[in-house]
Protein backbone atom coordinates (compact mmCIF):
# COMPACT_ATOMS: atom_id res chain seq x y z
CA UNK A 1 0.00 0.00 0.00
CA UNK A 2 1.31 3.39 -0.98
CA UNK A 3 2.05 5.88 1.74
CA UNK A 4 0.60 9.37 1.14
CA UNK A 5 1.72 12.32 3.25
CA UNK A 6 -0.80 13.49 5.74
CA UNK A 7 -3.16 16.37 4.80
CA UNK A 8 -1.37 18.56 7.34
CA UNK A 9 1.89 18.31 5.42
CA UNK A 10 0.11 19.11 2.14
CA UNK A 11 -1.52 22.09 3.78
CA UNK A 12 1.76 23.44 5.07
CA UNK A 13 3.41 22.98 1.64
CA UNK A 14 0.61 24.95 -0.04
CA UNK A 15 0.77 27.62 2.65
CA UNK A 16 4.50 28.00 2.05
CA UNK A 17 3.98 28.28 -1.70
CA UNK A 18 1.31 30.95 -1.26
CA UNK A 19 3.46 32.88 1.17
CA UNK A 20 6.55 32.68 -1.04
CA UNK A 21 4.85 34.40 -3.97
CA UNK A 22 4.22 37.77 -2.33
CA UNK A 23 7.54 37.57 -0.50
CA UNK A 24 9.42 37.11 -3.76
CA UNK A 25 7.42 39.88 -5.35
CA UNK A 26 8.29 42.19 -2.47
CA UNK A 27 11.94 41.24 -2.87
CA UNK A 28 11.75 42.25 -6.55
CA UNK A 29 10.00 45.46 -5.63
CA UNK A 30 12.63 46.34 -3.07
CA UNK A 31 15.29 45.82 -5.76
CA UNK A 32 13.72 48.64 -7.76
CA UNK A 33 15.48 51.96 -7.74
CA UNK A 34 13.62 54.78 -6.06
CA UNK A 35 12.97 57.81 -8.20
CA UNK A 36 10.84 60.91 -7.97
CA UNK A 37 11.13 61.96 -11.58
CA UNK A 38 12.97 61.18 -14.77
CA UNK A 39 14.65 63.59 -17.14
CA UNK A 40 15.04 62.44 -20.72
CA UNK A 41 18.12 63.77 -22.49
CA UNK A 42 18.10 64.22 -26.27
CA UNK A 43 19.12 61.08 -28.13
CA UNK A 44 22.81 61.16 -29.02
CA UNK A 45 24.11 59.61 -32.21
CA UNK A 46 27.74 60.66 -32.49
CA UNK A 47 29.03 57.35 -33.84
CA UNK A 48 26.05 56.54 -36.03
CA UNK A 49 24.70 59.09 -38.45
CA UNK A 50 20.99 59.15 -37.79
CA UNK A 51 18.47 61.21 -39.79
CA UNK A 52 17.11 64.11 -37.73
CA UNK A 53 13.55 62.84 -37.91
CA UNK A 54 14.57 59.52 -36.34
CA UNK A 55 16.42 61.30 -33.55
CA UNK A 56 13.44 63.51 -32.76
CA UNK A 57 10.93 60.65 -33.10
CA UNK A 58 12.97 58.52 -30.66
CA UNK A 59 13.02 61.38 -28.15
CA UNK A 60 9.36 62.35 -28.46
CA UNK A 61 8.07 58.77 -28.44
CA UNK A 62 10.20 57.98 -25.40
CA UNK A 63 8.77 60.93 -23.49
CA UNK A 64 5.25 60.05 -24.59
CA UNK A 65 5.57 56.42 -23.48
CA UNK A 66 7.09 57.38 -20.11
CA UNK A 67 4.31 59.90 -19.52
CA UNK A 68 1.77 57.23 -20.45
CA UNK A 69 3.04 55.00 -17.64
CA UNK A 70 2.32 57.86 -15.30
CA UNK A 71 4.25 56.78 -12.22
CA UNK A 72 7.16 59.17 -12.71
CA UNK A 73 7.13 62.84 -13.59
CA UNK A 74 8.91 63.29 -16.90
CA UNK A 75 11.15 66.27 -17.59
CA UNK A 76 12.52 67.16 -20.99
CA UNK A 77 16.14 67.80 -21.88
CA UNK A 78 17.24 71.16 -20.46
CA UNK A 79 14.12 71.76 -18.34
CA UNK A 80 15.26 74.04 -15.52
CA UNK A 81 12.51 72.77 -13.17
CA UNK A 82 14.26 69.39 -12.97
CA UNK A 83 17.20 70.96 -11.16
CA UNK A 84 15.31 71.25 -7.87
CA UNK A 85 13.96 67.67 -7.86
CA UNK A 86 15.46 65.25 -5.35
CA UNK A 87 15.93 61.63 -6.48
CA UNK A 88 15.93 62.61 -10.10
CA UNK A 89 16.97 60.01 -12.65
CA UNK A 90 18.52 61.16 -15.91
CA UNK A 91 18.15 58.97 -18.98
CA UNK A 92 20.97 59.23 -21.51
CA UNK A 93 20.34 57.40 -24.79
CA UNK A 94 23.03 56.78 -27.37
CA UNK A 95 22.35 55.21 -30.75
CA UNK A 96 24.69 52.26 -31.29
CA UNK A 97 23.20 50.82 -34.46
CA UNK A 98 20.83 51.86 -37.19
CA UNK A 99 19.66 49.98 -40.25
CA UNK A 100 17.36 52.02 -42.39
CA UNK A 101 14.94 49.69 -44.10
CA UNK A 102 12.37 50.36 -46.77
CA UNK A 103 8.63 50.49 -46.29
CA UNK A 104 8.15 49.63 -49.94
CA UNK A 105 10.37 46.54 -49.68
CA UNK A 106 8.51 45.44 -46.55
CA UNK A 107 5.13 45.75 -48.18
CA UNK A 108 6.10 44.13 -51.44
CA UNK A 109 8.25 41.25 -50.18
CA UNK A 110 7.15 40.97 -46.50
CA UNK A 111 10.55 39.47 -45.67
CA UNK A 112 13.05 42.24 -46.39
CA UNK A 113 13.29 45.94 -45.67
CA UNK A 114 13.11 45.84 -41.88
CA UNK A 115 14.22 48.98 -40.05
CA UNK A 116 16.08 48.54 -36.78
CA UNK A 117 17.65 50.83 -34.21
CA UNK A 118 19.86 49.80 -31.30
CA UNK A 119 20.07 52.29 -28.45
CA UNK A 120 22.20 52.15 -25.33
CA UNK A 121 20.23 53.56 -22.41
CA UNK A 122 22.07 54.75 -19.32
CA UNK A 123 20.19 55.83 -16.21
CA UNK A 124 22.18 58.10 -13.90
CA UNK A 125 21.73 60.49 -11.02
CA UNK A 126 22.23 64.19 -11.90
CA UNK A 127 25.81 63.96 -10.51
CA UNK A 128 26.59 61.25 -13.05
CA UNK A 129 26.41 58.21 -10.76
CA UNK A 130 25.33 55.31 -12.94
CA UNK A 131 22.24 53.44 -11.79
CA UNK A 132 21.42 51.12 -14.65
CA UNK A 133 22.49 50.42 -18.23
CA UNK A 134 20.51 48.58 -20.87
CA UNK A 135 20.59 48.06 -24.63
CA UNK A 136 17.17 48.51 -26.16
CA UNK A 137 16.22 47.76 -29.78
CA UNK A 138 13.47 49.13 -31.93
CA UNK A 139 12.26 47.33 -35.05
CA UNK A 140 9.62 47.51 -37.71
CA UNK A 141 9.29 44.33 -39.77
CA UNK A 142 5.92 44.37 -41.51
CA UNK A 143 3.49 47.25 -41.17
CA UNK A 144 4.10 50.94 -40.85
CA UNK A 145 6.68 53.48 -41.88
CA UNK A 146 10.34 53.43 -40.90
CA UNK A 147 9.68 55.78 -38.00
CA UNK A 148 7.56 53.10 -36.35
CA UNK A 149 10.84 51.54 -35.16
CA UNK A 150 11.20 54.53 -32.85
CA UNK A 151 7.80 53.75 -31.30
CA UNK A 152 8.86 50.15 -30.74
CA UNK A 153 12.05 51.34 -29.02
CA UNK A 154 10.13 53.80 -26.84
CA UNK A 155 7.71 51.13 -25.62
CA UNK A 156 10.56 48.79 -24.71
CA UNK A 157 12.55 51.52 -22.99
CA UNK A 158 9.48 52.57 -20.99
CA UNK A 159 9.11 48.93 -19.89
CA UNK A 160 12.72 48.95 -18.69
CA UNK A 161 11.89 52.00 -16.57
CA UNK A 162 8.74 50.35 -15.26
CA UNK A 163 10.60 47.17 -14.29
CA UNK A 164 13.55 48.85 -12.61
CA UNK A 165 12.28 52.06 -11.04
CA UNK A 166 9.61 52.77 -8.49
CA UNK A 167 7.99 56.05 -7.70
CA UNK A 168 8.61 57.58 -4.29
CA UNK A 169 5.06 58.88 -4.14
CA UNK A 170 3.48 55.45 -4.64
CA UNK A 171 4.57 54.26 -1.18
CA UNK B 1 33.31 114.41 -53.49
CA UNK B 2 31.45 115.93 -56.42
CA UNK B 3 27.70 116.55 -56.16
CA UNK B 4 27.09 114.17 -59.04
CA UNK B 5 28.95 111.31 -57.40
CA UNK B 6 27.14 112.03 -54.15
CA UNK B 7 23.78 111.79 -55.94
CA UNK B 8 24.78 108.46 -57.45
CA UNK B 9 25.75 107.16 -54.00
CA UNK B 10 22.44 108.37 -52.57
CA UNK B 11 20.40 106.70 -55.31
CA UNK B 12 22.32 103.44 -54.98
CA UNK B 13 21.86 103.55 -51.20
CA UNK B 14 18.14 104.21 -51.57
CA UNK B 15 17.71 101.38 -54.05
CA UNK B 16 19.62 99.01 -51.79
CA UNK B 17 17.50 99.90 -48.72
CA UNK B 18 14.31 99.45 -50.78
CA UNK B 19 15.52 96.04 -51.91
CA UNK B 20 16.36 94.98 -48.34
CA UNK B 21 12.98 96.11 -47.00
CA UNK B 22 11.19 94.35 -49.85
CA UNK B 23 12.99 91.10 -49.01
CA UNK B 24 12.19 91.64 -45.33
CA UNK B 25 8.49 92.09 -46.04
CA UNK B 26 8.45 89.04 -48.25
CA UNK B 27 9.93 86.99 -45.41
CA UNK B 28 7.39 88.08 -42.83
CA UNK B 29 4.60 86.03 -44.29
CA UNK B 30 4.58 82.91 -46.41
CA UNK B 31 2.03 80.95 -48.35
CA UNK B 32 0.58 78.23 -46.09
CA UNK B 33 1.43 74.72 -47.27
CA UNK B 34 -0.49 71.57 -46.54
CA UNK B 35 1.42 69.48 -44.02
CA UNK B 36 1.03 66.52 -41.69
CA UNK B 37 2.28 66.85 -38.15
CA UNK B 38 3.76 63.41 -37.52
CA UNK B 39 4.65 63.86 -33.87
CA UNK B 40 5.73 66.28 -31.17
CA UNK B 41 3.45 69.31 -31.49
CA UNK B 42 1.68 70.02 -28.22
CA UNK B 43 -2.10 70.00 -28.42
CA UNK B 44 -2.23 67.92 -31.58
CA UNK B 45 -2.52 64.19 -32.05
CA UNK B 46 0.09 62.39 -34.12
CA UNK B 47 -0.52 62.41 -37.88
CA UNK B 48 -2.70 65.52 -37.81
CA UNK B 49 -3.25 67.18 -41.18
CA UNK B 50 -3.17 70.96 -41.36
CA UNK B 51 -1.48 73.96 -42.90
CA UNK B 52 1.99 75.20 -42.08
CA UNK B 53 3.26 78.74 -42.56
CA UNK B 54 5.83 81.19 -41.26
CA UNK B 55 4.32 84.48 -40.10
CA UNK B 56 5.77 87.33 -38.06
CA UNK B 57 8.67 85.31 -36.74
CA UNK B 58 6.57 82.27 -35.82
CA UNK B 59 6.01 78.85 -37.30
CA UNK B 60 2.24 78.38 -37.51
CA UNK B 61 0.42 75.07 -37.75
CA UNK B 62 -3.33 75.24 -38.17
CA UNK B 63 -5.77 72.35 -38.02
CA UNK B 64 -9.42 73.38 -38.13
CA UNK B 65 -9.93 75.90 -35.36
CA UNK B 66 -6.87 74.82 -33.42
CA UNK B 67 -3.50 76.35 -34.08
CA UNK B 68 -0.04 76.19 -32.63
CA UNK B 69 2.86 78.61 -32.82
CA UNK B 70 6.57 78.11 -32.36
CA UNK B 71 8.76 81.20 -32.21
CA UNK B 72 11.52 81.09 -34.80
CA UNK B 73 14.04 82.42 -32.27
CA UNK B 74 13.35 79.46 -29.96
CA UNK B 75 14.19 76.99 -32.73
CA UNK B 76 17.56 75.33 -32.12
CA UNK B 77 17.64 73.23 -35.23
CA UNK B 78 15.61 72.92 -38.39
CA UNK B 79 16.42 70.16 -40.86
CA UNK B 80 14.74 69.11 -44.08
CA UNK B 81 14.69 65.59 -45.44
CA UNK B 82 13.13 63.49 -48.14
CA UNK B 83 10.90 60.46 -47.79
CA UNK B 84 8.10 58.74 -49.62
CA UNK B 85 4.65 57.47 -48.83
CA UNK B 86 2.11 55.27 -50.53
CA UNK B 87 0.18 57.01 -53.27
CA UNK B 88 -3.00 55.17 -52.36
CA UNK B 89 -4.73 55.91 -49.09
CA UNK B 90 -4.52 53.74 -46.00
CA UNK B 91 -7.97 52.23 -46.47
CA UNK B 92 -7.33 51.25 -50.07
CA UNK B 93 -3.94 49.89 -49.05
CA UNK B 94 -5.43 47.69 -46.35
CA UNK B 95 -8.24 46.53 -48.63
CA UNK B 96 -5.65 45.76 -51.29
CA UNK B 97 -3.97 43.33 -48.91
CA UNK B 98 -7.02 41.16 -49.15
CA UNK B 99 -6.60 40.84 -52.91
CA UNK B 100 -5.85 37.27 -54.01
CA UNK B 101 -2.33 36.10 -54.81
CA UNK B 102 -0.85 39.15 -53.09
CA UNK B 103 -2.04 41.36 -55.90
CA UNK B 104 -2.59 44.24 -53.53
CA UNK B 105 1.14 44.50 -53.00
CA UNK B 106 1.44 46.08 -56.43
CA UNK B 107 -0.20 49.17 -54.92
CA UNK B 108 2.80 49.54 -52.63
CA UNK B 109 5.01 50.17 -55.63
CA UNK B 110 3.21 53.44 -56.33
CA UNK B 111 4.69 55.96 -53.97
CA UNK B 112 4.72 59.74 -53.75
CA UNK B 113 7.82 61.67 -52.76
CA UNK B 114 7.44 63.89 -49.72
CA UNK B 115 9.57 66.32 -47.76
CA UNK B 116 10.13 66.13 -44.03
CA UNK B 117 10.75 69.13 -41.83
CA UNK B 118 12.23 68.41 -38.41
CA UNK B 119 12.25 71.22 -35.88
CA UNK B 120 13.82 71.26 -32.42
CA UNK B 121 12.90 74.12 -30.12
CA UNK B 122 13.04 75.07 -26.43
CA UNK B 123 10.02 76.03 -24.33
CA UNK B 124 10.18 78.93 -21.81
CA UNK B 125 11.46 76.49 -19.11
CA UNK B 126 14.30 75.39 -21.35
CA UNK B 127 12.72 72.00 -22.18
CA UNK B 128 13.63 70.63 -25.57
CA UNK B 129 10.82 69.69 -27.97
CA UNK B 130 10.97 68.06 -31.36
CA UNK B 131 8.36 68.25 -34.10
CA UNK B 132 8.26 66.38 -37.40
CA UNK B 133 6.18 67.55 -40.35
CA UNK B 134 5.76 65.99 -43.75
CA UNK B 135 4.63 67.93 -46.80
CA UNK B 136 4.65 67.68 -50.56
CA UNK B 137 8.07 67.49 -52.19
CA UNK B 138 9.87 70.78 -52.75
CA UNK B 139 8.10 72.83 -50.09
CA UNK B 140 10.13 72.16 -46.94
CA UNK B 141 13.21 74.07 -48.07
CA UNK B 142 11.28 77.32 -48.48
CA UNK B 143 9.88 77.05 -44.95
CA UNK B 144 13.31 76.26 -43.58
CA UNK B 145 14.83 79.28 -45.32
CA UNK B 146 12.10 81.56 -43.95
CA UNK B 147 12.60 80.22 -40.44
CA UNK B 148 16.36 80.72 -40.62
CA UNK B 149 15.86 84.25 -41.98
CA UNK B 150 13.65 85.02 -39.00
CA UNK B 151 16.06 83.83 -36.35
CA UNK B 152 15.91 80.02 -36.29
CA UNK B 153 19.18 78.12 -35.96
CA UNK B 154 20.22 75.18 -38.05
CA UNK B 155 23.07 72.71 -37.76
CA UNK B 156 22.65 71.40 -41.31
CA UNK B 157 24.93 73.62 -43.32
CA UNK B 158 24.82 71.71 -46.55
CA UNK B 159 27.53 69.33 -45.38
CA UNK B 160 26.85 65.66 -46.01
CA UNK B 161 25.06 63.98 -43.12
CA UNK B 162 25.44 60.47 -44.35
CA UNK B 163 22.95 57.72 -43.86
CA UNK B 164 24.51 54.26 -43.65
CA UNK B 165 22.25 52.19 -45.85
CA UNK B 166 21.58 52.88 -49.51
CA UNK B 167 18.12 51.36 -49.11
CA UNK B 168 17.09 54.17 -46.82
CA UNK B 169 13.96 56.00 -47.83
CA UNK B 170 14.54 58.75 -45.35
CA UNK B 171 17.76 60.40 -46.43
CA UNK B 172 18.66 63.92 -45.52
CA UNK B 173 18.17 66.39 -48.29
CA UNK B 174 21.19 68.39 -47.15
CA UNK B 175 23.42 65.53 -48.17
CA UNK B 176 22.17 65.66 -51.73
CA UNK B 177 22.91 69.32 -52.17
Residues A9 and A45 in one domain: no
Tell me the Cα Rg of chain A: 22
Residues A123 and A72 in one domain: yes
N-to-C CA span, chain A: 54
Tens-digit pLDDT profile for residues A35-44: 999 999 999 9
| Mean pLDDT for all residues in chain B | 77
Q: Are B173 and B83 in contact (CB under 8 A)?
A: no
Chain A positions touching chain B (beta carbons under 8 Å): 42, 48-49, 51-57, 59-61, 64, 75-81, 98-105, 107-108, 113, 145-147
Residues A22 and A76 in one domain: no
Q: Mapping DSSP to helix (H, G, I), strand (E, B) and coil, where does residue B60 land?
A: strand
Query: Which residues in chain A have Cβ-Cβ distances shorter than 8 Å to B103?
Result: none
Q: Considering CB atoms only, which of A51, A61, A75 is closest to B81? A: A51
Say how many C-beta atoms besides its own lie within 10 A of residue B120's C-beta.
Answer: 25
**CATH for A116:** 3.40.50
Q: Give φ, ψ of B14 to 5 degrees.
A: -60, -45
Residue span of the structural domain in which A88 resides: 35-167
Q: What is the percent of chain B where pLDDT is above 70?
A: 62
Residues A43 and A99 in one domain: yes
- At B126, the pLDDT band (50, 70, 90 cuts) reads very high
Residues A58 and A10 in one domain: no
Residues A74 and A108 in one domain: yes
**What residues have CB less than 8 Å from A64, skipping those under 6 apart?**
A154, B39
Mean pLDDT of B85-91: 60
User: Structurally, how many domains does chain A consist of?
Assistant: 2
- At A47, the pLDDT band (50, 70, 90 cuts) reads confident
Q: Sketch the domain layout of chain B as residue ranges.
A: 1-28, 31-175
Tens-digit pLDDT profile for residues A67-103: 998 878 999 999 999 988 989 999 999 999 998 877 7
Chain B positions touching chain A (beta carbons under 8 Å): 38-40, 77, 79, 81, 83-86, 105, 108-109, 111, 116, 118, 120, 122-123, 125-132, 156, 161-165, 167-172
Residues A22 and A43 in one domain: no
- At A143, the pLDDT band (50, 70, 90 cuts) reads low
Task: Give the model's pLDDT for residue A18.
Answer: 63
Residues A27 and A49 in one domain: no
Residue B67 pairs in a beta bridge with: B62
Say how many C-beta atoms besides its own lie within 10 A of residue A42's C-beta.
Answer: 18
- At B122, the pLDDT band (50, 70, 90 cuts) reads very high
Task: Give the model's pLDDT for residue B17.
Answer: 64
Q: CA angle B165-B167-B171, nearest 5°? A: 75
Mean pLDDT of B78-102: 67
Which of 3.40.190.170, 3.20.20.20, 3.40.50.2000, 2.30.29.30 would CATH assign to domain B31-175? 2.30.29.30
- At A151, the pLDDT band (50, 70, 90 cuts) reads very high
Task: Give the model's pLDDT for residue B161.
Answer: 39
Chain B nearest-CA distance from A169, in A, is 24
**Most confident of the following: A113-117, B139-143, B160-164:** B139-143
**What residues have CB less than 8 Å from A47, skipping those under 6 apart?**
A94, A95, A96
Q: Are A91 and A123 in contact (CB under 8 A)?
A: yes
Mean pLDDT of A51-64: 94
- At B165, the pLDDT band (50, 70, 90 cuts) reads very low
Residues A110 and A66 in one domain: yes
Task: Give the model's pLDDT for residue B176.
Answer: 39
How many Cβ pairs closer than 8 A exist between chain A and B? 111
Can you tell me the distance from the alpha carbon of A127 to that of A124, in angstroms, rounded to the nearest whole number? 8
Q: Where do the H-state alpha helices sit in chain B?
A: 3-28, 90-97, 140-149
Mean pLDDT of A126-155: 88
Task: Give the model's pLDDT for residue B9.
Answer: 81
Phi-psi region for residue A101, left (φ > 0), alpha (ψ -120 to 50) or beta? beta
Residues A63 and A121 in one domain: yes
Can you tell me the distance from the alpha carbon of A59 to that of A39, in angstroms, rounded to the nearest whole number? 11
Q: Considering CB atoms only, which of B118, B122, B156 is closest to A53? A: B118
Q: How far is CA B84 from the centre of its chain?
A: 15
Residues A8 and A79 in one domain: no
Residues A161 and A147 in one domain: yes
Q: Are A125 and A133 in contact (CB under 8 A)?
A: no
Task: Give the model's pLDDT for residue B163.
Answer: 39
Amino acid sequence: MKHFPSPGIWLSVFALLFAAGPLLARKNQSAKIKAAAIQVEMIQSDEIKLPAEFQVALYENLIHQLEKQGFLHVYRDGDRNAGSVADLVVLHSTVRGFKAGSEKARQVTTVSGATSIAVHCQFTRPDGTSLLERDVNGKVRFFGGNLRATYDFAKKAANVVHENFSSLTSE
Amino acid sequence: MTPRRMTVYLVVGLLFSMLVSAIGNAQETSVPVKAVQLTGLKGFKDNTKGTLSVENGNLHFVHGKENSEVSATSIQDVVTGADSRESVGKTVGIMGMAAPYGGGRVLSLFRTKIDTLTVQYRDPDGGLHGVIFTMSAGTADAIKKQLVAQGAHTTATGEPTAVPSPSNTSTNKEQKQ
